[in-house]
Chains A and B, each alone.
Chain A
Amino acid sequence: KQEVTQIPAALSVPEGENLVLNCSFTDSAIYNLQWFRQDPGKGLTSLLLIQSSQREQTSGRLNASLDKSSGRSTLYIAASQPGDSATYLCAVRRGGSEKLVFGKGTKLTVNP
């Protein structure tokens, strides 16, 4: 059974800092991995999707990497801003399945 873990559960950083969020998964037979952010009381916003054949994806200040063999992904946020404060979730999808398995998220606070 696929399990997805995100450590730490919460992170507080000063504005301007570069930071890394971690996601690990137990079964390396994934089809893709997706990173989301969730603001309080809101739905999930898709940030990046990495296919199993890719090593990384970039969007603006965000860079997500994938190491399938070790069961790890990282989300790098450059020059963090208070507006980046949110909960970040990763989810993996297995080939042939529509099910996304989510981690419990990392709550990020960026202090002005």
Chain B
Amino acid sequence: DAGITQSPRHKVTETGTPVTLRCHQTENHRYMYWYRQDPGHGLRLIHYSYGVKDTDKGEVSDGYSVSRSKTEDFLLTLESATSSQTSVYFCAIRGTEGDQPQHFGDGTRLSIL
């Protein structure tokens, strides 16, 4: 298994509160990604990082911010959570040697009431 740990694994919070999800990797991979998975929409890219302090937006980035101060950690922040952000969030990593596949963590189930 790819060395990816997501925390927390489950979280319930209220609308308007800030939420931070953490992705930690032990593979020293350059690329890290945050996705959300929703019924009827499948998996969609929120943000990704191509190095320390280097990030870019994905397909559904509104309402989310990210930070990467160390190679091993990629944080996803919902500054003011809304019910539409209730979802399962997945982190993924990818190496840069050759054409590498993305490897996924086990996900964080986030419920916003």
Give the CA-CA distance A105 to B31 in the complex, in Å.
Answer: 24
List the interface of chain B (C-beta within 8 A of A). Answer: 4, 31, 33, 40, 42-45, 48, 50, 56, 58-59, 90, 92, 99-107
Cross-interface CB contact of B50 among A91, A98, A105, cutoff 8 Å: A98
Query: Is A44's beta carbon under 8 Å from chain B?
Result: yes
Interface of chain A: mostly helix, strand, loop or mixed: strand
Are B101's CB and A46's CB within 8 A? yes
**Size of the chain A interface, CB-CB below 8 angstroms:** 21
Are A43's CB and B48's CB within 8 A? no
Number of contacts between A and B (CB, 8 Å)?
50
Are A43's CB and B102's CB within 8 A? no
Cross-interface CB contact of B102 among A42, A51, A100, cutoff 8 Å: A100
Please give, as numbers and ranges, the residues of chain B lying within 8 Å of A34 by CB-CB distance: 101-102
Residues of A5-54 at the interface with B, using a CB-CB cut-off of 8 Å, are 31-32, 34, 36, 41-46, 49, 51
Are B58's CB and A42's CB within 8 A? no
Closest A-chain residue to B48, C-beta based?
A: A98
Query: Is A103's beta carbon under 8 Å from chain B?
Result: yes
Are A99's CB and B104's CB within 8 A? no
Residues of A55-75 at the interface with B, using a CB-CB cut-off of 8 Å, are none
Are A105's CB and B59's CB within 8 A? no
Counting chain A CB atoms within 10 Å of each CB, the highest count among B45, B99, B100 belongs to B99
Give the CA-CA distance A36 to B2 in the complex, in Å.
Answer: 14
Give the CA-CA distance A51 to B104 in the complex, in Å.
Answer: 19
